[in-house]
Amino acid sequence: MEFGLVQMWNQMGTLARIVAILLFFLSIVSIYLFIERQLVFARARNKSKKIAPVLAGLLKKGQIEEALKLSSKKENKGSHLARVTAAGIREFLEGKEHNLSLEEQIETAQRGCDRASIIFTQELKRGLSTLATIATSSPFIGLFGTIAGIINAFRGMAETGSGGLGAVSQGIAEALITTAFGIGVAIIALWCYNFLSTRIEIYVAEMSNTASEIADFFIRREGSRG
């Protein structure tokens, strides 16, 4: 008896085939989400690298309104640093219009940066919950296929009226394949999830650093005027 993939697929029961197809689909989803998130991250990194020096130059020159206009442009929306900068400047200027104290202006600017950072972080995390679900559920889905394979093995025993290895080998192989497939899909999804989570932590740290720099800029700027 041959145990190639084609032969085992032909011998699989309907339930085991459904499990195998589902696991294959989940592996494709995992890879798709990983690639899609990588593209989002790359766009944020590239846009931020391009706009960050320009914004820093404008702020050093005291051109706050120009910095706000540039960071608020639609084409810069994908930049995490631009989003945080725009939120901080906007809140600071609005606080100044309402005659808040310098300390209150700084606090509102900081809160604006924090809100922008939280929103952008949630955008970066889009799809990660799906990866986590796939990583945790795939082994159990594979185990479900294993149970179907064992049932198929016992059915083979019943049909042949024999308990020999030949009667159950195909069903056992089917069971082991679905288990291995489920574990493989879980490993792929878990690796993608951990890799993307690490990247997100880097972006969160960069946004936090930018928010701190903006607050320090306004403190120095208003302090020198006073």
Q: Is the pLDDT of residue 32 over 90?
A: yes
Residue 62 lies in a domain: yes
Residue 226 lies in a domain: no
pLDDT average, residue stretch 190-215: 94
Distance in angstroms (rounded) separating the CA atoms of residues 179 and 182 = 5
Q: Shortest CA distance to 86 belongs to which of 58, 61, 67, 100?
A: 67
Chain mean pLDDT for the chain: 86
Distance in angstroms (rounded) separating the CA atoms of residues 196 and 42 = 12
Of 97 and 192, the one with more pLDDT: 192
pLDDT average, residue stretch 23-31: 95
Residue 89 lies in a domain: yes
Per residue in 110-162, pLDDT (tens digit) is 999 999 999 999 999 999 999 999 999 999 998 888 887 777 677 766 666 65
Domain assignment of residue 180, given as a range: 5-219
Residue 134 lies in a domain: yes
The dihedrals phi and psi of 77, each to the nearest 5 degrees, come to -65, -30
How many domains are there within the chain? 1
Residue 225 lies in a domain: no
Candidate from 119-123, 161-165, 174-178 with smallest mean pLDDT: 161-165
